[in-house]
Amino acid sequence: MSLAKTTFKLNPDAEFIPLDKLLKLLSLVGSGGEAHIMIETKQVEVNGNIEIQKRKKMRAGDTATFNGTEIVVEA
């Protein structure tokens, strides 16, 4: 199965974006609550590892994978 790839560019004044907010902003989930459930049930990977921190700080160079989509965070 091939992953859909997308990028997320951080705001110039932002050092990171929380993982739950990233999923919501990219419309991969319908709400922050849904994002929390997906993360808690181990459906999200960050940099190749299952992530359970809902507000994991996603920084430039980090990659998240969820539901067939790979997201690369860029500065």
- Give the pLDDT of residue 52: 98
Structural domain boundaries enclosing 55: 4-74
Tell me how many domains the chain contains: 1
> What is the tens place of the pLDDT at every residue in 29-39?
999 999 999 99
Q: Where residue 62 sits, what CATH number does that domain have? A: 3.10.290.10
Read off the pLDDT of residues 47-66 as tens digits, 9 standing for 90 and up: 999 999 999 999 999 999 99
Q: What are phi and psi of 73, to 5 degrees?
A: -90, 130
Contacts of 45 (CB under 8 A, 6+ apart): 51, 64, 65, 66
Contact predicate 17/73, CB 8 Å: yes
pLDDT at 23 over 70: yes
Q: What is the C-alpha separation between 75 and 14, in angstroms, rounded?
A: 9
What's the Cα-to-Cα distance from 75 to each of 3, 22, 27, 57, rounded to whole Å?
22, 14, 20, 14
Model pLDDT, residue 2: 83
